[in-house]
């Protein structure tokens, strides 16, 4: 009976269609529910990150960036909860990542290029004044000994100070002393509301932190600070520098330093005292980058070497890769797959690791090349300026030719055999066929890759840094630059090495590099377009 009913249902086309439609609706509802849950989870994560970012930015008073983050978060929620913004759902992630990792980085780099940001100029004016006053603190003569208790709140150490008048004050490294409700043991405050008092053993365990702790006596920086040498008694220290308005006076020498708008207090004879603070300097960094006599010489030879390095690398890797592609593209060659696999090994190994291996092999004293291949020779591959340049080129060509070999092989295989056969029938030899047919067609497809390869090698930081670190060092240059440095490695050294780090100048150089590469790419792509029109 059940079998008969099942057969009747299965043979009823209308009922079968209704059942199929019901199953489709159920599957769609289940998929929609799963999609909604996934969307809510992902948007919850995005909103949580946005809220955290807003809190952090508000604590640093970065109101402009805070407004942008809030606006983007609201826009993302509107896009993904709206039923009409379907294209935006696919475009939004890519646009956001482009804005964060490309546009923002470029704009922020440009902004830094118009400031004096660097060693001695990396904070605000208030921070600079506080640092200058703290660096010249001296104990006040006949300063009374203030009974103190070391306290802690949320991981922050503070000093609970008892004044000679019997008042209890508490302060931290960031916050000056202020009145607080406290409990006393005799004439000494031993605990305060909202603070945990450290026991003697805890003070001993954190002795370095306690002795380094310095608390401002009041909101006026000229009132000095309170410090304790032992965690039980504190003394007052005042600065030999007196700050008033936009002037800083050295009370020991009588020299007066003024804020003249350069981001540092400057005496009448031009002497600056550091640290200073970050200020906008307009195009000074860009002008200094190209006109400063001390920077002109290293900039010129580093720029020339950068162009030579990028051009020779692209030209030689393309020539070698094309030659190997033609060789191993011959139909009668046996074992082509094995040879091709061996040739791409340098491309498969991480470049920084390969550069380190080559640096070891090229070592003058115990490198494999000198000791084994050259029988104990002493050739300064990495310490002579010209040999170091040749070494960097050799290693970079070794790393780059497999890529050119792969793309040239693919391009050659895409050229129809009929063209070569037609050229042969017309009487063209192998060289004429290659020069007049294969090479022009090859360049049409390979030219954009050559342009991108040039741009990559123009900023090829890895091989230079890992192999020679830009050396050998040019001792006559005012900036830490070497004979194999290219522009990007020189920028890195200006920004992150040496005793003085000039982020503003480094950012100016970065913008200049960006403009150079952009112009070269535009010109090259226009040339590529003309090649396409010719073919």
Q: What is the bridge-based pairing of β-strands 241-244 and 214-216?
A: unpaired
* Position 19 pLDDT exceeds 70: no
Tokens of 19: 């059942």
* Position 9 pLDDT exceeds 60: no
Q: What does the alpha-carbon distance between residue 322 and residue 341 come to, in Å, rounded to a whole number? A: 16
| Contact (CB, 8 A) for 491 and 509 | yes
Which of 241, 278, 233 lies closest to 257, judged by CA?
241
* Position 306 pLDDT exceeds 80: yes
* Position 196 pLDDT exceeds 70: yes
* Position 26 pLDDT exceeds 80: no
Q: Residues 468-486: what's their mean pLDDT?
A: 89
Per-residue pLDDT tens digits for 358-403: 999 999 999 999 999 998 889 999 999 999 999 999 999 999 999 9
Which of 112, 151, 196 lies closest to 508, judged by CA?
112
Residue positions counted in the chain: 535
For residue 90, the model assigns a pLDDT of: 86
Residue position matching structure tokens 């050396």: 471
For residue 257, the model assigns a pLDDT of: 94
* Exposure on the CB side of residue 520, measured as CA atoms within 13 A: 17
To the nearest 10°, the Cα dihedral for 269, 272, 278, 280?
20
Confidence of residue 531 (pLDDT cuts 50, 70, 90): low
Q: What does the alpha-carbon distance between residue 440 and residue 444 come to, in Å, rounded to a whole number? A: 6
In order, the DSSP letters of 21-67 are HHHHHHHHHHHHHHHHHHHHHHHHHHHHHHHHHHHHHHHTT-HHHHH
Which of 379, 384, 297 lies closest to 368, judged by CA?
379
Q: Residues 112-132: what's their mean pLDDT?
A: 90
User: For 222, which DSSP code?
Assistant: G
Residue position matching structure tokens 């609970």: 160
For residue 400, the model assigns a pLDDT of: 92
For residue 157, the model assigns a pLDDT of: 93
Which of 154, 124, 136, 121 lies closest to 214, judged by CA?
136
Estimate the crossing angle of helix 336-343 against helix 385-413, to 10 degrees.
Answer: 140
For residue 441, the model assigns a pLDDT of: 84
Name residue 246's beta-bridge partners: none
* Exposure on the CB side of residue 360, measured as CA atoms within 13 A: 5
Q: Residues 478-502: what's their mean pLDDT?
A: 89
Per-residue pLDDT tens digits for 226-246: 999 888 899 999 888 999 888
* Position 533 pLDDT exceeds 60: no
For residue 338, the model assigns a pLDDT of: 82
Q: What does the alpha-carbon distance between residue 462 and residue 358 come to, in Å, rounded to a whole number? A: 13
Per-residue pLDDT tens digits for 125-162: 988 988 898 888 888 887 788 999 999 998 899 999 99
Q: What does the alpha-carbon distance between residue 66 and residue 532 come to, in Å, rounded to a whole number? A: 48
Name the most confidently modeled range: 102-106, 167-171, 217-221, 436-440. Answer: 167-171
SS3 state at 174 = coil
* Position 4 pLDDT exceeds 70: no
The percent helix, strand, coil of the chain (3-state, each to 5) is: 60, 15, 25
pTM: 0.76
Long-range contacts at 266-274 (CB < 8 A, ≥ 24 apart): 273/132, 273/248, 274/120, 274/121
Report how many helices (DSSP H) and strands (DSSP E) the chain contains, helices first: 21, 16
Return the ∠ at Cα 293 (arms to 261 and 106), rounded to 5°. 60
Confidence of residue 1 (pLDDT cuts 50, 70, 90): very low
Q: What does the alpha-carbon distance between residue 189 and residue 168 come to, in Å, rounded to a whole number? A: 6
Residues 6+ apart with CB under 8 A from 272: 257, 262, 264, 265, 266
Phi, psi of 475 (to 5 degrees): -70, -20
Q: What does the alpha-carbon distance between residue 162 and residue 184 come to, in Å, rounded to a whole number? A: 9
For residue 347, the model assigns a pLDDT of: 80
SS3 state at 8 = helix
């Amino acid at each position: 009976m059940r079998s008969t009913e099942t057969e009747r249902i299965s043979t009823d086309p209308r009922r079968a269609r209704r059942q199929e439609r019901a199953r489709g609706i159920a599957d769609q509802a289940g998929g929609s529910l799963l999609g909604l849950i996934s969307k809510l989870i992902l948007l919850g994560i995005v909103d949580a990150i946005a809220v955290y970012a807003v809190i952090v930015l508000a604590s640093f008073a970065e109101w402009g960036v805070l407004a942008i983050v809030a606006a983007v978060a609201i826009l993302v929620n509107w896009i993904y909860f709206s039923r009409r913004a379907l294209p935006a759902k696919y475009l939004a992630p890519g646009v956001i990542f482009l804005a964060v990792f490309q546009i923002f980085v470029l704009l922020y780099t440009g902004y830094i290029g118009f400031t004096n940001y660097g060693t001695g100029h990396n904070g605000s004016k208030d921070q600079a004044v506080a640092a200058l006053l703290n660096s010249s603190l001296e104990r006040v003569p006949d300063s009374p000994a203030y009974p103190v208790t070391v306290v802690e709140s949320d991981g922050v150490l503070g000093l609970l100070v008892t004044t000679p008048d019997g008042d209890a004050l508490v302060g931290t490294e960031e916050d000056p002393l202020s009145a607080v409700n406290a409990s006393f043991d005799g004439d000494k405050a031993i605990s305060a509301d909202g603070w945990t008092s450290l026991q003697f053993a805890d003070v001993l365990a954190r002795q370095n932190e306690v002795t380094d702790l310095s608390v401002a006596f009041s909101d006026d920086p000229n009132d000095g600070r309170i410090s304790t040498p032992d965690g039980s008694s504190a003394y007052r220290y005042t600065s030999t520098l007196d700050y008033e308005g936009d002037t800083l006076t050295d009370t020991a020498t009588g020299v007066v330093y003024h804020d003249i708008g350069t981001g540092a207090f400057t005496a009448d004879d031009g002497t600056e005292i550091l640290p200073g603070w970050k200020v906008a300097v307009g195009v000074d960094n860009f002008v200094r980058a190209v006109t400063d006599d001390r920077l002109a010489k290293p900039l010129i030879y580093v720029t020339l070497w950068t162009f030579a390095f990028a051009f020779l690398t692209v030209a030689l890797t393309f020539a070698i890769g094309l030659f190997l592609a033609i060789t191993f593209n011959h139909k009668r060659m046996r074992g082509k797959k094995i040879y091709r696999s061996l040739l791409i090994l340098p491309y498969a190994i991480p470049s920084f690791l390969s550069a380190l291996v080559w640096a070891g092999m090229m070592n003058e004293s115990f490198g494999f090349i000198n000791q084994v291949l050259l029988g104990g020779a002493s050739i300064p591959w990495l310490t002579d300026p010209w040999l170091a340049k040749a070494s960097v080129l050799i290693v970079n060509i070794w790393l780059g030719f497999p890529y050119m070999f792969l793309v040239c092989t693919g391009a050659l295989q895409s050229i129809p055999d009929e063209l070569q056969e037609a050229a042969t029938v017309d009487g063209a030899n192998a060289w004429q066929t290659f020069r007049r047919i294969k090479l022009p067609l090859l360049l049409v497809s390979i030219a954009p890759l050559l342009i991108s390869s040039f741009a990559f090698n123009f900023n090829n930081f890895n091989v230079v840094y890992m192999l020679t670190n830009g050396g050998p060092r040019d001792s006559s240059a005012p900036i830490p630059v070497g004979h194999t440095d290219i522009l990007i490695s020189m920028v890195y050294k200006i920004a992150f090495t040496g005793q003085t780090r000039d982020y503003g100048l480094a950012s100016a150089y970065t913008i200049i590099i960006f403009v150079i590469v952009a112009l070269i790419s535009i010109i090259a792509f226009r040339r590529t377009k003309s090649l396409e029109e010719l073919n």
